[in-house]
Structure 1
Amino acid sequence: MTTRLPLAALFAAILCGTASAQMARTEPQEGPGKETGSKQVPLSRGEIQLSFAPVVKRAAPSVVNVYASHVDKRSNARASAMDEFMRRFFGEPDGGRGPRGDRAQKSLGSGVLVDGSGLVITNAHVIDNMNEVRVALSDRREFEASIVLRDSRTDLAVIRIKQPPAGLAPMPFGDADKLEVGDFVMAIGNPFGVGQTVTQGIVSALARTQVGSADYQYFIQTDAAINPGNSGGALVNLQGQLVGINTAIYSQSGGSHGIGFAIPVSMVKAVVTAAKDGQTVVRRPWLGARIQNVTPDIADSMGLDHPTGVLVASLQAKSPAEESGLKRGDLILTIDGQVVDDPEAFGYRFALKGTSGQTKLGILRGTTRQSVMVKLITAPETRPRESLKVRARSPFMGASFVNTSPAVAEDLQVDFPTEGVAVEAVDEGSIAARAGLQKGDIVVAVNGLPIATTKDLDRVTRTTPGAWEIVINRGGEVMTSIFSG
């Protein structure tokens, strides 16, 4: 009977080798089974059997497959007529549809069991626009699941197995802050729907931003192969702990090119906690300040050796930032002692602090280092949103609008404006989309009339002018556009 060496032996063999192996390098020998120089063959049965299999055995039962679909129900009469048409002219038995002629969109991804009650974490884009979800365990048992929470800003979602079986194996959480570049990690998921697959690599980089798959861009980069279907799967350390949720690949072909990204487990824990607390939308703390990158020129002017931290560009009245004593021009260097190098890192660290208590910001004001305590609260809804979906023919047709407030500004990731109404969504292919309206735009005026509320905009869009003059605030830049009636 053979046995496997513990993982400590694996590291010893990889990093420094056994004492006899070192001797083989320093005193080369020749003969059968030996090589000269720095290369060497395994010198024992134990070295031949070094393996990551023990880690996989612990972690793999916690990784599941997630099958999601969106089914549009249609009336039996309409479905029957369409099915008859398809049978007659194309020979298809049901027009390519399911029962009753339902139309279905499907999505395939992975997920991780994080609680014995059947909670599963996955990517939000795996279940985006889906209304039916099934989960397949590693032993191929399948269960219906319900959507508990989806958070597009982090690209994370929590689903729950409706009738969880006994003996589920949730994966323990690791500590992503202890990861270092070069650490071994494994990606476990269901690439291309072929079944559970394990790939191994190292942490290639930490705190990667500008990946573009979520608002909170702060990713672990790995060269462990990640392919379509791995989304929502586990990034695991050599203790079998979850350190990240695989979410994106950097590839023009759609396949793995050795650059994959995972959401750190710190954010995963925050979203899971929100789901356990009964939240359907993750609540995050509100700072009430606009921050910006520190350029080399700014760093030089402040006497810094290199660009670091984030610069306070402006503050909102009566916000936690203003009440803490922060001032325009302050340089925020740390959050509770953790260094922040750019706005993305600050947004990630601040979002993890929750919405109760206080957090300490380390700042540089002039040449003096000091700290301020910031109250952790959610952004206030200072007035009702009064959502409006414009259906009248106008440049706004097909867009949805809401009244502005600090809460809306936080949701849309825009600076809180002093006037106007915000574009909450724009239908693809709509007149509003062709007119160039974008989510987060603030409509300030139409045909010379100030737009203070969605009721003002609704009233204006019901008119039929010969032309439309629209004033929009986009990211602090005010633009005026003219459209024919």
Structure 2
Amino acid sequence: MKKTMQLIVVAITAGVISLGGYKMLENKQTEATFSVLEENPTFIPTTYESTNAIATGIDFTEAAEKTVNAVVHVKNKSINSQPKNIMDYMNGGGESRAMLGTGSGVIISPDGYIVTNNHVIANASELTVTLNNNKTYEAELIGTDPKTDIALLRIMDSETDFPFVTFADSNNVKIGEWVLAVGNPFNLTSTVTAGIVSAKARDLAGDRDTQSFIQTDAAVNRGNSGGALVNTKGELVGINTAISSETGSYVGYSFAVPSNNALKVIQDIMEFGDVQRGILGISALNNAAAQASGIDITEGVYVADVEKGSGAEKGGIRSGDIIQNVDGIKIGKFSDLVGYLGSKRPNDIVDVQVLRNGNQKNIPVTLVKLETLEIPDIGIEVKNVAQSILDARGINYGVEISRAMTEATKRYKIEGDIITLIDDIPIKNIDDAKRVIASRRYEDALKVTFVNKKGEIHSYIFR
């Protein structure tokens, strides 16, 4: 028994010594670690802190709460005719079917004005919007602008004050800034996703594009179109419009119309009934084309030609100038210029900084109205064309196709082609085109002669 007690005492003593030694070693290691931190402030700890927004001092909850009640689920009912046989196809007949499309929209005023995408409500025969509280209202279409893919709706209940989102200045948006995308992807109502601004002034169709998008990595999918892109204050910085994907679903790239451009479009629709576009009156070469022509340019917009009578000509801009800055906004490429001017109107005066013969020069320019003509019989829009473009094609006159308006004409990729003849009558400007179109009978065939981007001549007959 005595021997047993001795063994127990020895065991307890050994345990105490072992535990005490471990604690001493642990304390020494801790002291050594803090000593290194104090001696070397650039030491990187191996204990990683959470990288979520709240841990970094950014809280998305206020922005989400402000926005989610002002973003609506837009439902678009349209009637389409589906041909059942070859005779229906040839005669334009067929069985009528009701189609339902969905998307998102953003309430921008307490009386129920809503901004959304044009493609969300295209061909609608009936529009309804559902709020986050599940209340559904009928909506009316106020106006659209297919070029910017913006449409303006209004809820037809005039007695209710609705939650709304205020506009921010999209020129102040910074690359790397946190943003939220709010919408209704895949009919999942009131969905909020977060990301950063990946790029600004992104053009999706090359330097002929009339758009300039904010690119983000916030998840956007089908149904998000027309929804809100907001900053961490819950202010509107863009209208979610498109994704870049081979699958049709989000893969990391989404694009929004800047809030300044969207605001200008809806203000024009409300005040004038259509969009008033102000232009400098120049034709430009993109950087790659300029460099291929032996022109040393890495940033800016190279002025290839100045239209006669334009604000650019009257202000003193010359062919060969490089536009570097407009109203303090840096112009690195054509989409920067398009994006900024997209928020301006005719007769606005902008301060253009150009580089000429190695010297910088500031030139005030009064913007002129972009004159275009829609030809519904063909499904295109045309505008006057700069002489430099005519010279490059080896022709003396014509009007440029600025936009394909239907799915059929979009397939032919004719934007940028020059129309020289309509019904064999020379077309020197859009006034000539107006006269010819106005004088013809609708039921008559329409012959149009084009000169494409390669300088090839083609004639088509439209019936």
Fold shared per TM-score above 0.5: yes
Deviations 1:129-156 (Å, cap 9, x if unpaired)?
2232111111111111111121111111
One-letter identity of the residue aligned with 2:73: N
Corresponding position: 1:479 with 2:434: no
Q: Which residue number in structure 2 is paired with residue 171 of structure 1? A: 165
Query: In structure 2, how many angstroms separate the alpha carbons of the residues matched to 1:333 and 1:255?
Result: 37
Query: In structure 1, how many angstroms separate the alpha carbons of the residues matched to 2:56 and 2:444?
Result: 80
Q: Is the 8 A contact 2:449 2:460 kept in 1?
A: no
Corresponding position: 1:285 with 2:261: no
1:179-218 to structure 2, matched below 5 A, reads 179-210=173-204, 215-218=209-212
Q: Is the 8 A contact 1:336 1:359 kept in 2?
A: yes
Q: Which residue number in structure 2 is paired with residue 322 of structure 1? A: 313
Corresponding position: 1:260 with 2:268: no
Query: In structure 1, how many angstroms separate the alpha carbons of the residues matched to 2:302 and 2:229?
Result: 33
Distance 1:334 1:193, change over 3 A: same
**CA deviation after TM superposition for structure 1 residue 351, in Å:** 2.3
Query: In structure 2, how many angstroms separate the alpha carbons of the residues matched to 1:155 and 1:427?
Result: 14
1:329-340 to structure 2, matched below 5 A, reads 329-340=320-331
Deviations 1:171-205 (Å, cap 9, x if unpaired)?
11123233223222111100001211111122222
Distance 1:113 1:386, change over 3 A: closer
**CA deviation after TM superposition for structure 1 residue 287, in Å:** 2.1
SS at match of 1:478: coil
Q: Is the 8 A contact 1:172 1:241 kept in 2?
A: yes
**Structure 1 spans left out of the alignment, 5+ residues:** 1-22, 30-35, 75-96, 390-398
Q: Is the 8 A contact 2:202 2:335 kept in 1?
A: no
- Choose from 150, 161, 170 the match for 1:156: 150
**CA deviation after TM superposition for structure 1 residue 379, in Å:** 3.2
**Structure 2 spans left out of the alignment, 5+ residues:** 1-30, 38-43, 83-93
Query: In structure 2, how many angstroms separate the alpha carbons of the residues matched to 1:256 and 1:24?
Result: 49
Corresponding position: 1:242 with 2:236: yes
Q: Which residue number in structure 2 is paired with residue 62 of structure 1? A: 70
Q: Which residue number in structure 2 is paired with residue 343 of structure 1? A: 334
One-letter identity of the residue aligned with 2:452: R
Deviations 1:389-427 (Å, cap 9, x if unpaired)?
3xxxxxxxxx3578x664xx69xxx98996346667576
Query: In structure 2, how many angstroms separate the alpha carbons of the residues matched to 1:114 and 1:415?
Result: 44
1:427-442 to structure 2, matched below 5 A, reads 438-439=414-415, 441-442=417-418
Corresponding position: 1:275 with 2:269: yes
Distance 1:136 1:331, change over 3 A: same
Query: In structure 1, how many angstroms separate the alpha carbons of the residues matched to 2:418 and 2:105?
Result: 37
Q: Is the 8 A contact 1:24 1:40 kept in 2?
A: no
Aligned residues: 399
SS at match of 2:182: strand
Distance 1:218 1:26, change over 3 A: farther
Distance 1:445 1:461, change over 3 A: farther
Deviations 1:405-462 (Å, cap 9, x if unpaired)?
64xx69xxx9899634666757656xx899x583554332489874564576888999
SS at match of 2:233: coil
Query: In structure 2, how many angstroms separate the alpha carbons of the residues matched to 1:241 and 1:299?
Result: 43
SS at match of 1:69: strand
SS at match of 2:127: strand
Distance 1:456 1:312, change over 3 A: same
Q: Which residue number in structure 2 is paired with residue 444 of structure 1? A: 420
**CA deviation after TM superposition for structure 1 residue 230, in Å:** 0.6
**CA deviation after TM superposition for structure 1 residue 301, in Å:** 7.0
Q: Is the 8 A contact 1:471 1:479 kept in 2?
A: no
1:417-428 to structure 2, matched below 5 A, reads 419-420=397-398
Distance 1:127 1:483, change over 3 A: closer
Corresponding position: 1:376 with 2:384: no
- Choose from 216, 219, 222 the match for 1:222: 216
Query: In structure 2, how many angstroms separate the alpha carbons of the residues matched to 1:25 and 1:234?
Result: 48
Q: Is the 8 A contact 1:299 1:308 kept in 2?
A: no
Query: In structure 1, how many angstroms separate the alpha carbons of the residues matched to 2:70 and 2:314?
Result: 45
Deviations 1:287-315 (Å, cap 9, x if unpaired)?
221011234974997776xx111111112
Query: In structure 1, how many angstroms separate the alpha carbons of the residues matched to 2:67 and 2:35?
Result: 41
Distance 1:189 1:173, change over 3 A: same
Query: Which protein has the larger Cα radius of gyration, Structure 1 or Structure 2?
Result: 2
Moved more, 49-58 or 330-339: 49-58
**CA deviation after TM superposition for structure 1 residue 480, in Å:** 2.3
Query: In structure 2, how many angstroms separate the alpha carbons of the residues matched to 1:272 and 1:181?
Result: 26
Distance 1:473 1:315, change over 3 A: farther
One-letter identity of the residue aligned with 1:172: T
- Choose from 106, 109, 114 the match for 2:103: 109
Q: Which residue number in structure 1 is paired with residue 13 of structure 2? A: none
TM superposition score normalised by structure 1: 0.70
Q: Is the 8 A contact 1:70 1:130 kept in 2?
A: yes
Q: Is the 8 A contact 1:335 1:359 kept in 2?
A: yes
Q: Is the 8 A contact 1:446 1:460 kept in 2?
A: no
**CA deviation after TM superposition for structure 1 residue 335, in Å:** 0.8
Deviations 1:219-275 (Å, cap 9, x if unpaired)?
222221111101111111111111111111122222221221112111122123223
One-letter identity of the residue aligned with 1:67: K
One-letter identity of the residue aligned with 1:346: L
Distance 1:162 1:294, change over 3 A: same
Deviations 1:106-141 (Å, cap 9, x if unpaired)?
211011111112111111111122232111111111
One-letter identity of the residue aligned with 1:444: T
